[in-house]
Amino acid sequence: MAGNRRTDEISGVDTTGHEWDGIEELDNPMPRWWLWVLYATILWSIAYWVVMPAWPLMTSYTKGVLGYSQRGEVLSDIAEVKASRAGQEAKILSSSLEEITKDPALNHFALAAGKAAFGDNCSGCHGSGAQGAKGYPNLNDDHWLWGGSLEEILFTINYGIRSTHDETRFNDMTAFLADEILEKQDISDVAEYVLSLSGTSTDSEAANRGEPIFVDNCVACHAEGGVGNREMGAPNLSDKLWLFGGDRKTVIQSISYGRKGVMPTWEARLDPVTVKSLSIYVHSLGGGE
Ligand code: HEC
Ligand code: HEC
């Protein structure tokens, strides 16, 4: 068949000599540009084998003269981030809480670290937005049981409240019914007095009977007028905010059995940088003093 090559009269190009049912094929050369691209890619691939990791071997691979690896690049990126973090962490460790909040970059870093640590360690009890729940205080408002300054918050987080730590904040409200200190009737009356402090009492006679009972039994911790005492972690009973609840039944329950809410100690579980960052984060939530 190759012997049938001839020159096509119309285009002036040679045919390949192939012929199917009278149809023939012109033998046009590859375009120049196409050939150059082909040669260039061949050269590129050879250069690539030499320079970059390319061929798999039995147990390893050819590393190439550059020795590049993506894994190595990620590792060096991580090391870089760690190094820059280590600088910030060392600064947090050596600065006072006050100094950290005055350094915008450091404060920013501490807030981010504190927010992350809060999600991991605290939101289970205090809620993801630190809004609190029954028995777990809201950390966004400016009502504090034990104190809302940076240092006081740091102390609370480190040592806890009624926790297992020797330094823990501690004060147990008496369980007035369970410990047989007050009769049921007295408790009912003093509860009515407590409700009257926030203007929610419906029985002023009972509240009047409750007042002297309050003075004798409760003022030592909750202070005169029930305004609360942070030295003792005793909540303000005269506002409308309640840790456990402000309906009559819940107030009677609080008085009868006490509450003894426990906030764990974090000193042994979290490193000092994290505790400091948490203090700054909690302080920033809106109620910091
Ligand atoms: C196991 C539940 C629990 C966890 C987890 C917990 N807390 Fe608490 N926290 C409490 C309770 C309960 C109180 C209130 C104790 C009381 O009745 O005085 C409290 C109180 C506090 C207070 C004092 C508030 C005030 O008004 O003085 C701060 C601050 C605080 N928590 C921060 C944190 C931070 C930060 C974390 C995470 C590291 C955390 N808590 C984790 C239960 C918890
Ligand atoms: C030894 C100190 C102490 C004495 C005395 C005391 N309390 Fe308390 N009280 C507390 C503390 C601390 C709390 C915080 C709750 C906890 O234990 O977690 C509290 C909580 C309460 C609460 C719950 C408040 C809330 O926000 O839900 C009520 C109500 C209350 N006390 C009423 C009384 C009354 C009434 C008396 C007197 C009959 C009294 N307390 C005596 C320390 C005391």
Q: Tens of pLDDT along 189-243?
A: 999 999 999 999 999 999 999 999 999 999 999 999 999 999 999 999 999 999 9
Burial label, 31 (beta-carbon count in 10 A; 0-12, 13-18, 19+): exposed
User: For the residues 176-189, what does the mean pLDDT come to?
Assistant: 96
Given a contact cutoff of 8 angstroms between Cβ atoms, the answer to whether 114 and 277 are in contact is yes
Burial label, 32 (beta-carbon count in 10 A; 0-12, 13-18, 19+): exposed
The fraction of the chain above a pLDDT of 90, given in percent, is 80
Give kind and range of the element (H or E) at residue 193.
Answer: helix 184-197
Q: Tens of pLDDT along 84-125?
A: 889 999 999 999 999 999 999 999 999 999 999 999 999 999
pTM of the model: 0.80
How high is the mean pLDDT of the chain?
A: 94
Nearest CA to ligand 1 atom 39: 122
Distance 235 CA to ligand 1 centre (A): 14
Query: Long-range contact list for 30-34, CB < 8 A, 24+ apart?
Result: none
Given a contact cutoff of 8 angstroms between Cβ atoms, the answer to whether 143 and 240 are in contact is no
Ligand 2 lining (C-beta closer than 6 Å): 171, 173-174, 176, 190, 194, 214, 217-218, 220-222, 232-235, 237, 242-245, 251, 254-255, 258-261
From the CB of residue 1, how many other CB atoms can be counted at a distance below 10 Å?
A: 8
Residue 157's nearest CA partner among 277, 276, 266, 273 is: 266
Distance 139 CA to ligand 1 centre (A): 8
From the CB of residue 234, how many other CB atoms can be counted at a distance below 10 Å?
A: 21
pLDDT for the residue numbered 3 = 62
What token pair was written down for 269?
């579980």
Query: Is the pLDDT at 1 greater than 70, yes or no?
Result: no
Which of 65-69, 173-177, 188-192 is predicted least confidently?
65-69
144 Cβ below 6 A of ligand 1: yes
Q: Tens of pLDDT along 251-266?
A: 999 999 999 999 999 9
Mutation to probe ligand 2, out of 143, 240, 241, 259 (largest number of atoms < 8 A from CB): 259
pLDDT for the residue numbered 194 = 97
Q: What pLDDT band is residue 147 in, cutting at 50, 70 and 90? A: very high
| Cα separation, 54 vs 49, whole angstroms | 5
pLDDT for the residue numbered 49 = 92
**280: CB partners within 8 A, 6+ apart:** 97, 100, 101, 107, 110, 111, 114, 150
In the chain, what are the domains?
75-167+264-284 (1.10.760.10), 184-257 (1.10.760.10)
Query: Is the pLDDT at 41 greater than 90, yes or no?
Result: yes
Type of residue found at 244: F
CA dihedral 78→269→258→195, nearest 10 degrees, is -30
What token pair was written down for 215?
């003075």
